[in-house]
Structure 1
Amino acid sequence: MTASPVAGGGRPNRDVLLTVTCLGQFMVLLDNTIVGAALPDMQHRLHAQLTGLQWIVDAYVLLVAMLLLSGGIFADRFGRKRVYLSGVAVFTVASVLCSLAPSVGWLVAGRALQGIGAAALSPASLALLVAAHPLPQERVKAIGLWAGFSGIGLAAGPVAGGVLTEAFGWPAIFLVNLPMGVVLLLVGLRHLGESRNPSAPAIDTPGTVLSVMAVGALTYGLIEGGARGWTSPVILGSFAAALILLVAFVAVEARRSAPMLPLRLFRQRLFTVSNTAMVVVGFALMGSSFFFSQFFVYVQGSSILRAGLQTLPVSVAMVIVSPYAGRLAARYGFRIVVTTGLALAGLGLLALGTVHADTGYGNVWWRLGAVGTGFALTLSPLTGAAIQAVSTQEGGLASGVSSTTRQIGAVLGVAVLGAVVRTRQSGGASIETGLNSAFVAAGAVTLATAVFTGLWLARPGPAEGSAGRQRHTDPDAVITANKASTRSR
């Protein structure tokens, strides 16, 4: 990857650059988990139905999912500093708009704008870091710190969300981004150096537009189906539109010389299987997480702050276990580690499906911990498997596709499991029964995928573990290996 000289002719201060990029990614991941704790308060104050809560989450995830690949290309093509700071500005302004939203509709619009900012900010932050550390060993250390700080944001979200919502109400979870965003803009404008890749591919505008519309139409049908009726003309029309748009997307991508999603990659079984499994990971992890705080508040009567603390075992387990997943995959192979992780997560979700209003927390936390541990064992190895399936030059693209498939799974998870809860409730079941059904459904899908990866997540030729030693620069692929590398030093 080539880079233009640093703006101003000087070498950027790497400590400042590391701080700025880490804080930006921290802000994005904090916002992923901080919202969950505030959903009950949003439902109460905004008089939102379950459908509205689903859109509050999915509007953000949907835009991130479909613009993530384009965000990385924009950064390489038009300047990493420029795209990063633009993403920070959009994310910060959107956060303020979210905090001021008078209704669910305005909040959903603000969340969509946040997703656009995050899709630019996240890949550009890592691209800046990589460009400033050309030596492999320095790069590994820098990315390890970047990933570790990001993980703190993921774990801090539920607690921060509970504290802020309990003290000030749900708007506070968005206003917390304002001081961070202002600091990032001021420091970034003054201290970050510009770099770009002159040979970056052109933006695939038709592919991006068609993919966003296809997933958006499918998501609309899944979320609104319970409220409008699954056989209503609007819902059937949205599903038909999603199918037509998907076919059009495939046709367009097959003919473009530089598509956002090269379909030829899916000829590799390892690539296809790993990304299929990644969709399920996003589906089950995000879909079930959407209901964790709601279960503790509405079924067990916890306060919002206590509910945020009660969901913490999932995030803590992921932060603790993630650094070792790459090592385990390198030693034992992707198939064993991923299949074990999916089986553990699936069993944990099934166990959550048996929790009731009078179940003591001492018999609940370990189930959440099992879910977090299981998914922590799958995320980085699945991306590593996707990267092994392609050439070295396409490692970044493969990792980006893996990130995108996980986000798409998250969109569908919130939509589908929400439909499960709504359907059970419309049939006269209690909220407890509906949530239990959602956890069981997520667990069953996860266990089925464990069987799938156990049979197919392998390829003939070199040992699977060799991929664990490959060098790559995408965040999802490097998080585990580089955090472990940093700690070992």
Structure 2
Amino acid sequence: MTTTTPVAAPAPTTRSTRRWLALSILALAQFLVVLDASIVNIALPVLGQQLGIDTATLAWVITAYVLAFGGLLLLGGRLADRYGHRRIFLIGTAGFVAASALAGLSVTSEMLLASRALQGASAALLAPAALALLTHLFPETKDRTKALGVWGGVAGIGSAAGVLLGGVLTAALGWQSVFFINVPIGAIVLVAIPLLITRDKSGVHGKLDIPGAATITGALVAAVGALSAIEQVGFAHPLTIGLAAVSIALGVLFVFIERRTAEPLVPLDVFKNRNLTVGNIVMLLIGAAMVALFFALSVYMQAVLGYDALTTGLTQLPLAGALVVVAGLAPSIIHRFGTKPTLIGSLIVLAAGLVWLSFAPSDAQFLTQILGPSLLIGVGMGGAFVTTTQLSVDGVEGGEAGLAGGLINTSQQIGGALGLAILGTIAALRTESLIEAGVGAPEAITRGFSWLFLGTATVAVLGAITAGLVRKN
């Protein structure tokens, strides 16, 4: 697909003699990336008070991480292909650990924001390289599907654990602990991976596509920035419109560059792989549903039902547990029923759970009105996440495994920002209109989130329709 000869293309079976142990360490690193997207949220009020950060600046504690992570993922994946998956993974992990320590030691808002941006940039190196290493460790479809089941389980645990651990750590040890927790875990990863996975082969050939890297990074950063701006200033604000225009212009320029360069950052021929393309579209939709859902659940349970942060985290454990169990069973389900039926079925189950959740009232009882839909959502999300990740690396050559990892992570990040911006705005507008009409705040918030849950269900149905394009059964 490209004239560039990649560095990291050794025979997959030679990368480790203890590949399942190696997978557990890679999954631990991926856990940190997923965890860090949510664990900071609970600590923000305390953090802002102690560092003297106003509300507007606090939003940038999240945005700085998301912009760097989402914007640099494709570049990170391609760097891993060219300079070695293990090498780039270790560099990313080391950077993530160092940035986490700096964030915990921050005494000013500037220091914290810079640390968060470095965390995001390091995660953009770590995440696609980790998925690429997984594909090398498990070249056979059956074992790879099992490995991706573990991967999907880690995503579920990380998403729920962020809310739970954020509340516990902030209350017991202070806001700094939500960053410091990454340091010992990251140290374990840095020690273990060199012992478990062989070195990358040396020998870089060709030039890195600097114009392509600059334009796609700029386009992605502007896109994520525009989506974040929607939440803060609205669709029609000049900042939102300007960032969207910059993103589109740079995206068009990127395609123009990639069509004409001999050694492109992203060979456009990769999208001729229908399963990879469908997998990324579906992952974008899953990301949109997942991020909007977890945001809405957290606010609904605290602002409407009156749960504290710890209880809110605990109530999301059944969803995460169902996700983990189904992610583990997904390989057997796929083997028995096929990839396409499993993906479509999972997305339909996810949509059904979201529709059910949309009927939850403002005085909902957890056991009778939230637990059931939460379990359905976990079941659907677990099956869909594993199957979609498998599709995204289906038929990808070893020298483009990092690119595939960068693509699927980018799809998830952009989808999450898109879902939160659009569905969150719809929920907010619905809530505001009801309050203006005299409806009480708890009921108005509940009805607003009902629209959000129905919106996420629609997104899941669109994913199921898209999954119909999958070639394999």
Contact 1:353–1:437 (CA<8 Å) still a contact in 2? no
CA separation of 1:253 and 1:193: change in aligned 2, threshold 3 A: same
CA separation of 1:382 and 1:123: change in aligned 2, threshold 3 A: closer
Match for residue 458 of structure 1 among 439, 454, 469: 469
**What are structure 2's unaligned runs of at least 5 residues?**
1-5, 11-15, 436-440
Residue-by-residue CA offset, 1:374-404 (whole Å, 9 max, x unaligned): 111212222333445x565687344542332
Residue-by-residue CA offset, 1:259-311 (whole Å, 9 max, x unaligned): 33333344555444332222110111022212322222222111111111112
Trace 1:37-186 onto structure 2 (pairs within 5 A).
37-38=42-43, 55-101=60-106, 107-125=112-130, 143=147, 147=151, 150=154, 153=158, 156-185=161-190
Contact 2:131–2:405 (CA<8 Å) still a contact in 1? no
Structure 1 distance, partners of 2:229, 2:139, is 50
Q: Which amino acid aligns with 1:248?
A: L
Trace 1:255-270 onto structure 2 (pairs within 5 A).
255-267=260-272, 269-270=274-275
Structure 2 distance, partners of 1:356, 1:401, is 39
Structure 2 distance, partners of 1:458, 1:403, is 21
Structure 1 distance, partners of 2:364, 2:52, is 29
Residue-by-residue CA offset, 1:40-63 (whole Å, 9 max, x unaligned): 655776788887666544543443
Q: Are residue 407 (structure 1) and residue 413 (structure 2) matched? A: yes
Q: Displacement of 1:86 after TM fit?
A: 2.1
Q: Which amino acid aligns with 1:415?
A: A
Q: Which amino acid aligns with 1:209?
A: A
Structure 1 distance, partners of 2:414, 2:26, is 25
Contact 1:223–1:419 (CA<8 Å) still a contact in 2? no
Contact 2:286–2:463 (CA<8 Å) still a contact in 1? no
Q: Displacement of 1:91 after TM fit?
A: 0.7
CA separation of 1:115 and 1:196: change in aligned 2, threshold 3 A: farther
- 80-89 or 276-285: bigger deviation: 80-89
Aligned to 2:244: 239
Aligned to 2:296: 291
Match for residue 35 of structure 2 among 30, 39, 56: 30
SS across alignment from 2:360: coil
Q: Which amino acid aligns with 1:333?
A: G
Trace 1:320-469 onto structure 2 (pairs within 5 A).
320-362=325-367, 363-388=369-394, 396=401, 397-398=403-404, 400-424=406-430, 427=433, 429=435, 430=441, 433-434=444-445, 436-438=447-449, 440-441=451-452, 443-447=454-458, 449-451=460-462, 453-454=464-465, 457-458=468-469, 464-465=472-473
Match for residue 222 of structure 1 among 220, 227, 232: 227
Q: Which amino acid aligns with 1:67?
A: L
Q: Displacement of 1:245 after TM fit?
A: 1.7
Structure 2 distance, partners of 1:347, 1:50, is 36
Q: Which amino acid aligns with 1:95?
A: S
Contact 1:38–1:161 (CA<8 Å) still a contact in 2? yes
Contact 1:207–1:252 (CA<8 Å) still a contact in 2? yes
Structure 2 distance, partners of 1:96, 1:414, is 29
Structure 2 distance, partners of 1:200, 1:66, is 25
SS across alignment from 1:364: helix
Structure 2 distance, partners of 1:407, 1:297, is 25
Q: How big is the alpha-carbon RMSD for the aligned residues of Structure 1 and Structure 2?
A: 4.1
- 404-413 or 223-232: bigger deviation: 223-232
CA separation of 1:367 and 1:103: change in aligned 2, threshold 3 A: farther
**What are structure 1's unaligned runs of at least 5 residues?**
6-10, 466-489
Contact 2:154–2:324 (CA<8 Å) still a contact in 1? no
Aligned to 1:307: 312
Structure 2 distance, partners of 1:361, 1:59, is 35
Residue-by-residue CA offset, 1:430-478 (whole Å, 9 max, x unaligned): 4763465355335435435525634762356xxx23xxxxxxxxxxxxx
Structure 2 distance, partners of 1:421, 1:102, is 36
Structure 1 distance, partners of 2:404, 2:138, is 21
CA separation of 1:333 and 1:58: change in aligned 2, threshold 3 A: farther
SS across alignment from 1:358: coil
Q: Displacement of 1:114 after TM fit?
A: 1.1
Tell me the TM-score normalized by structure 1. 0.77
Q: Which amino acid aligns with 2:315?
A: Q
- 305-314 or 235-244: bigger deviation: 235-244
Provide the aligned length of Structure 1 versus Structure 2: 456
Aligned to 1:473: none
Structure 2 distance, partners of 1:398, 1:385, is 10
- 155-164 or 192-201: bigger deviation: 192-201
Contact 2:344–2:467 (CA<8 Å) still a contact in 1? no
Q: Which amino acid aligns with 1:417?
A: L
Q: Which amino acid aligns with 1:371?
A: I
Structure 2 distance, partners of 1:339, 1:145, is 17
